[in-house]
Structure 1
Amino acid sequence: MSEQTIALITGANKGIGYEIAAGLGALGWSVGVGARDEQRRETAVAKLRAAGIDAFGVPLDVTDDASVTAAAGLVEERAGRLDVLVNNAGVTGSAPQLPTTVDLAVVRTVVETNVIGVIRVTNAMLPLLRRSASPRIVNMSSGVGSLTRQSTSTDELSTGPVAVAYSPSKTFLNAVTVQYAKELRDTNILINAGCPGFVATDLNGFRGIRTPEQGAAIAIRLATLPDDGPTGGFFEDAGVVPW
């Protein structure tokens, strides 16, 4: 089996996910580009390979049990283990998301991808992560998942618009991250949530003020934590995010 570090990034065909793959690949790692859309996935892999990165495509729909199981099988066949999992895939859900008028189907869809999808993928990949010498799990969250910022700030730049599906889904994800850290505290698996900041991506109509490369930096940092690094935390470039 290869001693090269193996990473899998979900939703890696574009935006922050792509830049996470590029950043980890630049370290000499082998990076799995997890994505649903075959054409976008293959295009991303080709672009990464053209940049000298050892990239491979992983068909992956985080909302589908069979797809996730097949993805774990693909990684096992290729590498025999997984060193780093970055749960980046996410959706914002359609607008508006005012609590009093929201379509409940939107809430279900967002939670299915942003929370349940993370649990589904993490559990499928855990047997492979347990074979790693220094396994890391990074859950890409958002500052809008911070209850402290939501309740104390009036700056929409940091708190986002009223979004009863998306924002609470990230709060939920942060809480899930803590539960994994508690269960896995006696293992060498470190799991943390990262906030990329307000990044210009198609998720927000490119209104963000940070580049995808800047947004990827926190994930790369958490993916490369030393063995005595933190677990169960919520971090951004500036440090710990107030919860």
Structure 2
Amino acid sequence: MSYARVGVVTGANKGIGLAIVRNLALQYPKSPLNDGRLLIYLTARDQNRGEAALQSLQEDVQLQKAKALVRHGGLTEVKFHELDIVDTTSIKNFTEHLKSSHNEGVDFVINNAGIAMQGFDSNVVKTTLRCNYYGTLEATKHFIPLMKPNGRIANVASMTGKLNKYSDTIRDQFLASKTVSDITELMERFQSDVDAGKEKERGWPSAGYAVSKAGVIGMTRAIATAEKEKGSKILINSCCPGYVKTDMTRGGGSKTPDQGAQMPVMLALEDLKDQTGLFWQDERPIQW
């Protein structure tokens, strides 16, 4: 089967990620991106969970009623592929598959994969940064060469990544950052300060998840700027889905997963007026 469009959603076996895939299938037919059949890769690090998620979509009553999937006469096909963003080999295997299977390129990637751990110590911070910051960064770098000239990348961040809980010095360093190396240096300094037990006195919040998401926002902005300076038309943005009731929020949250999915889905499908490198919430760019 041939496809006019190809998309990828990482961390998509449950919660916001799975809702993103559902809503992409529902909204694609009426979107500006619609140019024929769409293939979405639902990716997850665990094959059994990924395949179970795929099965749940195939049995989804709303998708059936909307005739969203190809199997129901619609435009969208969903396939599972294993991807663990903390494993370089896994990233390379998946991107090689995309390269060999879709030589015309990928239309959009929504980097949703991430973790939120309980507690706060050096190991929690290390594990959180490894996935949320370094994993997302490595995946993004591998995806960029595969994107179509007008492709989209949306990195799912969080309002916890806003800079209102940092010292003036650190906040100013985030805002003054120009390159990925600038942001990575800040992530390394945070880890070092946590290791020394001095993160608070040096201007950081004691919150590994929040700092990792500040890193995602900053590195997304830096990559987008670098791509734009090279003349690339790829739109690369970060976003906050809102406070969504999922396993990650441990039952908290004021939004459903479907509501949380709307922001990243918009960044993948809708006309963004060439806006890139921005941090979005509630369908609009907001101040970092």
Shorter-chain TM band:
0.7 to 0.9
Q: Compared with structure 1, are the counterparts of its residues 125 and 45 closer, same or farther at alpha carbon in structure 2 (3 Å cutoff)?
A: same
Alignment-derived partner of residue 172 in structure 1? 215
Whole-angstrom CA distance in 1 between matches of 2:284 and 2:136: 23
1:136-178: CA deviation from partner (whole Å, max 9, x where unpaired): 0000010110113x47xxxxxxxxxx75200011111100011
- Give the C-alpha shift of residue 58 in structure 1: 1.3
Whole-angstrom CA distance in 1 between matches of 2:262 and 2:272: 19
Alignment-derived partner of residue 84 in structure 1? 108
Q: Compared with structure 1, are the counterparts of its residues 114 and 196 closer, same or farther at alpha carbon in structure 2 (3 Å cutoff)?
A: same
Greater mean alpha carbon deviation, residues 107-116 or residues 227-236: 227-236
Whole-angstrom CA distance in 2 between matches of 1:120 and 1:72: 11
Q: Aligned with 1:176: secondary structure? A: helix
AA in 2 matched with 1:166: Y
Equivalence map 1:110-189=2 (5 Å): 110-129=128-147, 132-148=148-164, 150=165, 163-185=206-228, 186-189=231-234
- Give the C-alpha shift of residue 74 in structure 1: 2.1
2:72 is the alignment partner of 1:63:
no
Match of 1:32 among 14, 20, 41: 41
1:95-115: CA deviation from partner (whole Å, max 9, x where unpaired): 2x2xxxxx2111111111111
Whole-angstrom CA distance in 1 between matches of 2:98 and 2:80: 10
**Conserved in 2, the CA contact under 8 Å of 1:48 and 1:54?**
no
Alignment-derived partner of residue 6 in structure 1? 6
Whole-angstrom CA distance in 2 between matches of 1:163 and 1:8: 33
1:12-36: CA deviation from partner (whole Å, max 9, x where unpaired): 0100011111111221521101101
Whole-angstrom CA distance in 2 between matches of 1:74 and 1:41: 17
- Runs of 4+ in structure 1 off by over 4 angstroms are none
Alignment-derived partner of residue 156 in structure 1? none
Whole-angstrom CA distance in 2 between matches of 1:79 and 1:21: 19
Alignment-derived partner of residue 254 in structure 2? 209
RMSD: 1.8
Whole-angstrom CA distance in 1 between matches of 2:42 and 2:99: 15
- Give the C-alpha shift of residue 217 in structure 1: 0.2
2:232 is the alignment partner of 1:232:
no
TM-score by length of 2: 0.73
Q: Aligned with 1:147: secondary structure? A: coil
**Conserved in 1, the CA contact under 8 Å of 2:266 and 2:283?**
no
Q: Aligned with 2:140: secondary structure? A: helix
Which structure has the larger Rg over C-alpha atoms? 2
Whole-angstrom CA distance in 2 between matches of 1:197 and 1:217: 10
- Give the C-alpha shift of residue 61 in structure 1: 0.5
Q: Aligned with 1:12: secondary structure? A: coil
Q: Aligned with 1:208: secondary structure? A: coil
Alignment-derived partner of residue 75 in structure 1? 98
AA in 1 matched with 2:262: A
AA in 2 matched with 1:23: N
Unaligned runs of 5+ in 2: 30-37, 64-68, 70-75, 167-204
| Paired residues, number | 224
Whole-angstrom CA distance in 1 between matches of 2:4 and 2:57: 17
**Conserved in 2, the CA contact under 8 Å of 1:200 and 1:207?**
yes
